[in-house]
């Protein structure tokens, strides 16, 4: 089967993340098509649009756009017809439907969702927090976190911290190592905001073995030794018991699934307060 090449220009008066996501989802439906997506953010005037469309003509690109200003949408559509370009308006029809349904006029303010959505700024702050206090870099983060994840190495603490950060939660994580005492801060906070993570020894052994291969190290290292892993897990359970926190066995669970359990535990405690 011959592979076809297609180019999509994602044009937006903001970041264009939504339009790019939709474009990638649509392109994924065509296995015989190699699609290149070019995102063009912060387009605010006709001159900028004209330059983009000249380039799009040369590549016979499809124009996918999220433009709030009706004047820009109309201009783009007019020029696209003149130049023989296909277009997909992602925002316009929905804005029109909402205006018709509510009887209200839209604000026509570009990027307004990021200006007004406090959750967006909280998410950014939470991601920065997760990076700063990842892997026990600074134990003081435990005192300011919304949730603290503890567990031995490779129990998905970092991916889970980042996923929770995108939900707006400030997550710190602390690795549990038998030779290193946990930070005292861990025992000075409410155990209700601490979550222990564990995995079955065999799976952890497999994950660590693959990790060593990735790093170019020999698989016989203590890091991937099953007896050592059993010892670490036992130590981890003892710390979790001392903290008095709930423990999640993440074996066979996707990060999203583990995160939903964490959120359920946290919100359950909030409701009980």
CA dihedral 163→167→169→175, nearest 10 degrees, is -10
Residue 180 is given by DSSP the state: B
Q: Is 208 annotated as a binding residue?
A: no
Q: Is 157 annotated as a binding residue?
A: yes
Q: Which residues pair with 4 in a beta bridge?
A: 33
What residues have CB less than 8 Å from 192, skipping those under 6 apart? Answer: 245, 266, 269
d(CA 68, CA 13) in angstroms, rounded, equals 7
Residue 255, both tokens: 């990060």
Residue 177 is given by DSSP the state: B
Q: Is 198 annotated as a binding residue?
A: no
What residues have CB less than 8 Å from 101, skipping those under 6 apart? Answer: none
Q: Is 158 annotated as a binding residue?
A: yes
Q: Is 268 annotated as a binding residue?
A: no
Q: Is 258 annotated as a binding residue?
A: no
Q: Is 151 annotated as a binding residue?
A: yes
Which residue in this structure is represented by tokens 């710390």?
239
Q: Is 209 annotated as a binding residue?
A: no
In the annotated binding site for ADP, the residues are 151-158
Feature table: binding site: 151-158
């Amino acid at each position: 089967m011959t592979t076809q090449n297609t180019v999509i220009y994602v044009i937006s008066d903001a970041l264009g993340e939504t339009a790019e996501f939709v474009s990638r989802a649509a392109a994924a439906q065509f296995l015989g098509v190699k699609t290149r997506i070019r995102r063009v953010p912060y387009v605010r005037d006709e001159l900028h649009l004209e330059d983009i469309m000249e380039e799009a003509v040369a590549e016979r690109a499809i124009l996918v756009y999220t433009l709030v200003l009706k004047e820009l949408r109309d201009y783009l559509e007019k020029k696209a017809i003149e130049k023989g370009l296909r277009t997909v308006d992602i925002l316009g029809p929905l804005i029109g439907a909402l205006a018709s349904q509510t009887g209200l006029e839209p604000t026509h303010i570009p990027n307004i969702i990021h200006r007004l959505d406090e959750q967006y700024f909280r998410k950014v702050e939470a991601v920065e927090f997760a990076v700063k206090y990842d892997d026990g870099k600074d134990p003081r983060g435990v005192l300011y976190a919304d949730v603290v994840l503890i567990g031995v190495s490779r129990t998905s603490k970092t991916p889970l911290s980042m996923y929770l950060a995108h939900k707006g939660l400030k997550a710190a994580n602390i690795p549990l190592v038998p030779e290193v005492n946990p930070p005292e801060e861990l025992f000075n906070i409410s155990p209700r905001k601490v979550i222990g993570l564990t995995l079955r020894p065999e799976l952890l052994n497999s994950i660590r073995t693959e990790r060593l291969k990735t790093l170019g190290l020999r698989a016989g290292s203590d890091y991937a030794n099953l007896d050592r892993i059993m010892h670490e897990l036992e130590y981890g359970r003892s710390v979790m018991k001392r903290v008095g926190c709930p423990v999640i066995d993440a074996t066979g669970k996707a990060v999203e699934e583990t995160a939903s359990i964490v959120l359920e535990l946290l919100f359950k405690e909030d409701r009980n307060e």
